[in-house]
Amino acid sequence: MSTPTDSAPAAPAAPKPTRIPPIVTLDAKFFWDAADQEQFVGQKCGDCGLFTFPPRPMCPQCFSLNRQIVPLSGRGTVHGWTIPRHPAPFGFKEAPIVAVIQLEEGIRFVSNVVDCAHDEIRPDMPVVVTFEATMNNHKVPVFKPAGK
Partner 1 sequence: MARKFTEAAIAGIGQTEFSKASGRSELQLAAECALAACRDAGVNPHDIDGMITFTIDNSDEINLARCLGVKDLAYTTRIPGGGAAAAATIYQAMAAVNAGLCNNVLIWRAMNERSQYRFGQNPQGQQMQYQSGNGTGSLLWCVPYGAMTPASWGALQAARYMQKYGVTNRDLGYISVQQRAYAANNPAAWFYGKPITLEDHQSSKWIQEPWLRLLDCCQESDGGVAILVTSLDRARDLQQKPVHILGATQSIPYNVEVISNYYHDDLTVMPEAQGVAKRLWAMTGLAPSDMQMAAIYDAFTPHVLLQLEAFGFCKPGEGKDFVKSGGMALDGPLPTNTNGGLSGEAYIHGMNSMIEGVRQIRGTSHNQVTKKTVEHVLVSSGMAGAVLARA
Please report whether residue 48 would count as binding Zn ion according to CB under 5 A: yes
The interface mask with partner 1, positions 14-53, x = CB under 8 A, is -----xxxxx-x---------------------------x
Please report whether residue 86 would count as binding partner 1 according to CB under 8 A: yes
CA distances from 24 to 27, 72, 99 (A): 8, 20, 20
Please report whether residue 61 would count as binding Zn ion according to CB under 5 A: yes
| Dihedral over Cα of 58, 43, 75, 34: its sign | positive
Please report whether residue 67 would count as binding Zn ion according to CB under 5 A: no
* Residue 131 parent element (H or E): strand 126-133
Supply the minimum distance, in Å, between the C-beta of residue 116 and partner 1: 14
Supply the minimum distance, in Å, between the C-beta of residue 12 and partner 1: 26
Binding part of the chain for Zn ion, among 4-12, 20-28, 37-45, 111-119 by CB under 5 A, reads 37-45
Torsions phi, psi of 40, nearest 5?
A: -105, 110
Supply the minimum distance, in Å, between the C-beta of residue 76 and Zn ion: 23
CA distances from 51 to 71, 78, 109, 146 (A): 11, 19, 12, 23
